[in-house]
Structure 1
Amino acid sequence: MGHPFEGLSDVLTAHTTEHQGVAVVALTGEVDMLTEEIGLDEVLSAVEKAPARVVVDLQEIEFFGSSGINLLLIAQREARARKIPLGVVAAHHVVLSPLAATGVDVRLRLFPDLGAALRELADSARAELPTR
C-alpha cells in the first residue's frame, strides 16, 4: 500500500517559504476532505517551527469547502496556542464565499493579497516592540 496522499499532490500542493521573517504557506488546487491533510500538515509544520508570524496564502485555490474551513480553524487554534499571529490571504469568491456563509470570515485575519498581509503583520510586529 502506498503513501496515504499518493496521487493527491496533483489536486493540492502546499509549500512554505519565508518572507521578511514570516512563514508563508501557499496552497494551490483543491481543499476537500481527501486533500485537507496535505494542507494541514504543511500549515502545522510551519506553526510548529515557531516563526514570528504565519500567513496561509489561498490565492491559487480552485475549490474550498468545509474541509478548508476546518483546516483554517485548526491552524488558527494551534497558532494562538503558541501566540503566533496567523493571517489568511483570500481574495477570490471560491474561498471568501464559504468563509462568509459560515461566519468564519470574522474569526480570521483576512487579507486581499500577500503584500497586504506581509505589510500589516510587519507593522503589528513593530507595534509590539517595547519602546525605550
Structure 2
Amino acid sequence: MQQDPRQDPAPLTPHLRVRQERGHTVLEFRGEIDIAAATGITPHLDRLTSEPGARIVIDLRPVEFFDCSGLRLLYRARARVLDGDGQLHLVCAHPLTLRVLRVTGLARLLPPRPTLDEALGQPEATSGSL
C-alpha cells in the first residue's frame, strides 16, 4: 500500500514540505522558489490541489527568494482548488514577497495572511474572486 504523501513529515522536495493541520493540507514552500524549484514542486502541487473540496494552505514564510515561477505555482494552485470547489489560503509575511503579490494583483485574488493560525482560522469562502 502506497503511503499518502500528505502524511509524510519528510519534505517531498528540498523546497516543499507537506503536512495535515486542522483539516487542511499545508504546503510549506522553502528556500528559493525559482524555475528549478517549481519543476520539482508542480507534480506534488497538482496531485494535492486536484482533490474535490481540497482545503489547502500554502505557507511562504520559509521562502528566501520568490520569482515569477512561484507566482505561476500560486495561480495554478488557486485555479485547481477553485475548480474542485475547494478553498485555498496563503500565508506570507516577507515584505518583498508581499510586494510582488500586491504588484501582480495576486494579493487581491488570494489575500495573504501573516500567520498560519490566521489562515487556518479563516471562514470557508476566503479565496478571492475575479
CA contact (8 A) 1:30 1:64 kept: yes
Alignment counterpart, residue 65 of structure 2, candidates 58, 63, 79: 63
Q: Matches of 1:17 and 1:101 in 2, distance apart?
A: 30
Instruction: Name the count of aligned residue pairs.
Output: 113
Q: How do residues 27-42 of structure 1 correspond to structure 2 at under 5 angstroms?
A: 27-42=29-44
Q: How do residues 19-30 of structure 1 correspond to structure 2 at under 5 angstroms?
A: 19-30=21-32
Q: How do residues 98-117 of structure 1 correspond to structure 2 at under 5 angstroms?
A: 98-117=100-119
Alignment counterpart, residue 85 of structure 1, candidates 84, 87, 90: 87
Deviation at 1:45, TM superposition (A): 2.1
**Structure with more of its chain in helix, by fraction:** 1
CA contact (8 A) 1:25 1:46 kept: no
Cα 1:50/1:16, change in 2 over 3 Å? farther
- Which of structures 1 and 2 has the bigger CA Rg? 1
Q: Matches of 1:42 and 1:78 in 2, distance apart?
A: 13
Q: Matches of 1:41 and 1:108 in 2, distance apart?
A: 21
CA contact (8 A) 1:64 1:95 kept: yes
Q: Which runs of 5+ in 1 are unaligned?
A: 1-8, 126-132
Q: Matches of 2:26 and 2:35 in 1, distance apart?
A: 23
Deviation at 1:58, TM superposition (A): 0.5
Deviation at 1:43, TM superposition (A): 2.2
Amino acid at match of 1:88: L
Q: RMSD between aligned alpha carbons? A: 1.7
Deviation at 1:52, TM superposition (A): 4.2
Q: Matches of 1:51 and 1:14 in 2, distance apart?
A: 21
**Structure with more of its chain in strand, by fraction:** 1
Q: Which runs of 5+ in 2 are unaligned?
A: 1-12, 126-130
Identity %: 28
Q: Matches of 1:62 and 1:51 in 2, distance apart?
A: 30
Q: Which residue of 2 aligns with 1:119?
A: 121
Deviation at 1:38, TM superposition (A): 2.0
TM norm structure 2: 0.78
